A = this chain, B = another copy of it.
Amino acid sequence: MTRWLDDDEQRIWRNFLAMTQLVNERLDRQLQRDAGMPHTYYMILVALSEADGRAMRMTDLARRAQSSQSRLSHAVARLEERGWVRRTRCADDRRGNTAVLTDDGFAALAAAAHGHVEEVRQVLFDALTPEQLKALDDISTAVRGQTVGGSS
């Protein structure tokens, strides 16, 4: 009963996978080289920088960063060692720890942003036409809508 992929579908799938892997590798390589952090850390700092008081509960941060709790805890522990994030526990909040972006963390993010944005431009926006960007936006929305309602 397995709905195997035909040759064309197989090719499209592998092309898509290779594309996403290359994008991730380029983002990681640039950020590691120029800012000493992987893309996952960058996304955590961005999420905190945009939150009220630059603080988020760990559960909300995991959802926002689309990360498992265990992976997020590990990453935040590393960020805390660097002095970029600190964790607090409010006495009146039984829902768990809160992560707060420090001034040093905000400065690290600001310093990293320039090179990262340039890499994002080069890897995606410079490669695609306005029509392709519109199509990619619609495709992303369709897959996410499907996924949200899927087996997860």
Dominant SS among interface residues on chain A: helix
Which residues in B have their C-beta under 8 angstroms from that of A140? 12, 15-16, 18-19
- Asked whether any CB of chain B lies closer than 8 Å to the CB of A3, the reply is yes
Q: Mark A1-41, 1 if CB is under 8 A from B, else 0.
A: 01111000101110111111111111001100000000000
A26 touches which one: B3, B125, B142, B152 (CB < 8 A)?
B152
The one of B43, B121, B143 that contacts A3, using a Cβ cutoff of 8 Å: B121
Report A147 CB to chain B, min CB distance, Å: 5
B127 contacts A5, C-beta separation under 8 Å: no
Residue of B nearest to A43 (CB): B17
**A124-B151 contact given A12-B136, A133-B12, A135-B132, CB 8 Å threshold:** no
- Chain B neighbourhood of A20, CB < 8 A: 20, 23-24
A13 surroundings in chain B (CB, below 8 A): 120, 124-125
A126 within 8 A of B: yes
- Residue A123 interfacial (CB < 8 Å): yes
**In the docked arrangement, what's the CA distance between A26 and B149, Å?**
12
Q: How far is the CA of A128 from the CA of B142 in the complex (A)?
A: 7
Cα distance A140–B128 in the bound complex, in angstroms: 10
CB A19 to nearest CB in B, in angstroms, measures 4
| B16–A124 CB distance below 8 A | yes
Residues of A within 8 A of B (CB): 2-5, 9, 11-13, 15-26, 29-30, 43, 66, 113-114, 117-128, 132-133, 135-148, 150-152
